[in-house]
């Protein structure tokens, strides 16, 4: 069962750690396609953009993608590139939502989309010849001057956990804690928030931790809120979500020095295990458009790199990438299946 924090009385959650009620997000329900989205061509070919309908995927949501589509249509040079490539008509760009991971994988395998905003796990599962052209960079992602963007995952506990004040945590200590209560986990589409920390956890324990003990949440921020509010005392998520939730509730000063932030953070959470860095979410393009000689493909990439877009986790910047950067992802997911066991991704 997927749990959203907004389903639990906010007053109760706030009293447990004095978190201000306004800091909690609203439930993430199914959003109807935004007005103006094109689902059918009005004559001529249609440039098809695919995305997950559900929010909190790490990419922009439907409304922002609709705004991006409109900016493309308003650009005279881009409209000309569309016409030269055979995409004609008054509305030659369509947004096509996918209702979950399986739906997106199936449609990618039939090469339905020209451009697709996908979680990294979906890219690893699809079998078509799509090319990675961009990767997402969000606040909290590790970034190097060479353009390497990575995310970290974490296993963490709250002050209510017996592990919080232990000088050294052993595998037996962690096993006892996991037997005592359920483990808060995120959507299986998050490599940094789900696969990487659970793989690290299994390696540390020397055994598999049954998914029957998982307490499922929509995204990493919701996991942090669940642990802080006392729904459970232990969780796995993307590392950057901890600071984001603490800061949004006035418990951490993002402008303070690193040492002060560490002191503030250590009052509310303890990192038990931290993962190795993993790749972020890609933008895929059909190889015909990804080729350098495709003026339309080049303009699409340029528009995305220059766009001001936001997701549920803050501003998103898109940086150039390629398939080679994602080779390690497939290996990580194979290790996950061998070590942790196959979980519906």
Per-residue model confidence as pLDDT tens digits over 109-162: 999 999 999 999 999 999 999 999 999 888 778 777 666 778 899 999 999 999
Of 273 and 14, more confident = 273
Taking the C-alpha atoms of residue 243 and residue 253, their distance in angstroms, rounded to an integer, is 9
* pLDDT confidence of residue 307: 84
Is residue 303 located within the same domain as residue 244?
no
What's the pLDDT score for residue 4?
A: 52
Residues 164 and 246 in one domain: yes
Q: How far is CA 15 from the centre of its chain?
A: 29
pLDDT of residue 189: 83
Q: Does pTM surpass 0.85?
A: no
Strand-strand pairing, 115-117 and 47-52: parallel
What pLDDT does 15 receive? 39
pLDDT, tens only, 276-297: 989 889 999 999 999 887 999 9
pLDDT at 45: 85
The band of 54, judged by pLDDT with boundaries at 50, 70 and 90, is low
Q: For the chain, what percent of residues have pLDDT higher than 70? A: 82
Residue 144 lies in a domain: no
How many structural domains are present in the chain? 2
Considering the chain, what percentage of its residues have pLDDT values greater than 90?
Answer: 59
16 and 158 share a domain?
yes
CATH of the domain at 333: 3.40.190.180
Pairing of strands 2-3, 214-217: parallel
The 10 Å Cβ neighbour count of residue 306 is 9
User: 270 and 286 share a domain?
Assistant: no
Using the predicted structure, report yes or no on whether residue 16 has a pLDDT greater than 50: no
Which range of residues forms the domain containing residue 249?
A: 2-20+152-274
CA–CA gap between residue 342 and residue 345 (Å, rounded): 8
Q: Would you say residue 345 lies in a domain?
A: no
CA angle 240, 243, 247 (to 5 degrees): 140
The dihedral formed by the CA atoms of 192, 184, 310 and 264, expressed in degrees to the nearest 10: -90
Query: Given pLDDT bands bounded at 50, 70 and 90, which one contains residue 342?
Result: low
Residue pair 193/345 in contact (Cβ under 8 Å)? The answer is no
Residue 5 has what pLDDT? 53
Bridge partners (DSSP) listed for residue 319 = 135
Determine the average pLDDT of the residues in 232-250.
Answer: 94
Domain contains 36: no
* Confidence (pLDDT) at 23: 33
- Residue 26 belongs to some domain of the structure: no
pLDDT at 103: 94
Q: What is the pLDDT of residue 308?
A: 76
Greatest mean pLDDT among 89-98, 222-231, 300-309 lies in 222-231
Same domain for 285 and 260: no
Query: Which of 217, 243, 274 is the endpoint of a domain?
Result: 274
Q: Confidence band (pLDDT; 50, 70, 90) for 25?
A: very low
pLDDT tens digits for range 55-67:
555 687 788 899 9
The sign one gets for the Cα dihedral 18, 23, 26, 27 is negative
Regarding whether 163 and 85 lie in a shared domain, the answer is: no
How many C-beta atoms surround the C-beta of residue 77 within 10 A? 9
Of the listed ranges 90-94, 227-231, 232-236, the one predicted with least confidence: 90-94
In the predicted model, is pLDDT for residue 28 greater than 90? no
């Amino acid at each position: 069962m997927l749990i959203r924090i907004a389903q639990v009385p906010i007053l109760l959650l706030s009293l447990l750690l004095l978190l201000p009620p306004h800091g909690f997000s609203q439930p993430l329900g199914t959003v109807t396609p935004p007005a103006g989205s094109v689902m059918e061509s009005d004559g001529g070919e249609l440039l098809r953009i695919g995305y997950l309908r559900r929010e909190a995927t790490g990419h922009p949501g439907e409304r922002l993608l609709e705004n991006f589509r409109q900016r493309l249509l308003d650009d005279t040079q881009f409209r000309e590139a569309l016409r030269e490539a055979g995409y004609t008509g008054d509305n030659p760009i369509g947004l096509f939502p996918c209702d979950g991971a399986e739906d997106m994988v199936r449609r990618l395998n039939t090469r339905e989309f020209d451009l697709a905003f996908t979680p990294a796990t979906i890219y690893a599962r699809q079998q078509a010849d799509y090319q990675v052209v961009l990767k997402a960079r969000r606040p909290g992602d590790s970034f190097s001057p060479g353009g390497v963007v990575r995310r970290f995952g974490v296993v963490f506990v709250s002050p209510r956990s017996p592990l919080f004040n232990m000088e050294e945590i052993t595998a037996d200590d962690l096993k006892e804690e996991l037997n005592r209560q359920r483990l808060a986990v995120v959507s299986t589409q998050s490599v940094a928030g789900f696969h990487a920390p659970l793989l690290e956890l299994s390696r540390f324990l020397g055994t598999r931790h049954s998914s029957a003990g998982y307490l499922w949440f929509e995204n990493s921020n919701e996991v942090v809120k669940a642990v802080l509010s006392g729904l459970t005392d232990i969780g796995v998520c993307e590392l950057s979500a901890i600071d984001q939730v603490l800061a949004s509730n006035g418990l951490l000063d993002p402008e303070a020095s690193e040492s002060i932030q560490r002191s503030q953070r250590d009052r509310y959470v303890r990192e038990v295990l931290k993962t190795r860095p993993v790749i972020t979410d890609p933008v895929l393009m059909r190889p015909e458009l990804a080729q350098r000689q495709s003026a339309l493909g080049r303009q699409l990439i340029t528009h995305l790199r220059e766009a001001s877009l936001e997701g549920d986790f803050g501003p998103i910047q898109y940086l150039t990438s390629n398939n080679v950067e994602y080779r390690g992802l497939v290996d990580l997911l194979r290790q996950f299946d061998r070590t942790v066991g196959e979980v519906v991704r």
